A and B are shown apart, each in its own frame.
Chain A
Amino acid sequence: QKEVEQNSGPLSVPEGAIASLNCTYSDRGSQSFFWYRQYSGKSPELIMFIYSNGDKEDGRFTAQLNKASQYVSLLIRDSQPSDSATYLCAVNTRMDSSYKLIFGSGTRLLVRP
């Protein structure tokens, strides 16, 4: 069973701090990795994806990937109360002739004003 593991949290950070969210995955063959944000009672929305080892920055968000360690993370700089949500890590897995996303259970982030 291919798995994606995340700490459920909550991760509590003060406004303006850096929030660091982590994810590990079991399938060494996975090539692409995604972060979705899910506000309470709402649907997930894609915020970042990363394919290559290293860092990828988009505004206040930075995704980091280390395939050797099977580890992906999301950094949120200058955290705002509006960033309070559950962050889902998703990993692309090949299943026969198709690809599908395997989601982790999510980390709940709470940004305190």
Chain B
Amino acid sequence: EAGVAQSPRYKIIEKRQSVAFWCNPISGHATLYWYQQILGQGPKLLIQFQNNGVVDDSQLPKDRFSAERLKGVDSTLKIQPAKLEDSAVYLCASSLVDVFYEQYFGPGTRLTVT
């Protein structure tokens, strides 16, 4: 079974630039999560999708972050414009609807904003 795929793995941008991350979840997993993990901290949920719909985006900084999940499969997370404090690893995870706690994480995208 293929795992969660993410790209790119690494990205360096300057502040005020924009960046986009892509995620392809495990086949059959209806729930998809984007987390932000700052060095030395635990993952913080940014947005949760179930199929096409947003379940929770309460911690997504909506003035600069956006996310979409077209056709209930792949998802993209965008930051525009980036700030220095956005430097982090962005993790995508997926799960079955009824087993939300068993989340399978992708390898992450390490973003450095200079």
A46 sits at the interface (CB 8 A):
yes
Name the residue on A nearest B58 (C-beta): A95
How many chain B residues have a CB neighbour from A under 8 Å? 19
Q: Which 10 A-B pairs have the closest CB atoms?
A: A103-B42, A43-B105, A98-B55, A105-B42, A105-B41, A103-B43, A104-B42, A88-B42, A98-B56, A100-B45
B107 sits at the interface (CB 8 A):
yes
B62 sits at the interface (CB 8 A):
no
Name the residue on B nearest A6 (C-beta): B42
Partner of B48, one of A43, A100, A104: A100
Given A44-B43, A101-B45: 10 more A-B contacts, CB < 8 Å: A32-B101, A43-B105, A44-B91, A46-B102, A49-B101, A90-B42, A98-B48, A101-B100, A105-B40, A105-B41
Query: Does A8 contact B101, Cβ atoms closer than 8 Å?
Result: no
Cβ < 8 Å to B, chain A residues 39-64: 42-46, 49
Query: Does A43 contact B107, Cβ atoms closer than 8 Å?
Result: yes
Query: Does A44 contact B105, Cβ atoms closer than 8 Å?
Result: yes
Summed over the interface, the residue pairs from A and B with CB atoms below 8 Å come to a total of 47
Give complex CA distance A64, B112 in Å: 38
Query: Does A100 contact B42, Cβ atoms closer than 8 Å?
Result: no
Name the residue on B nearest A34 (C-beta): B101
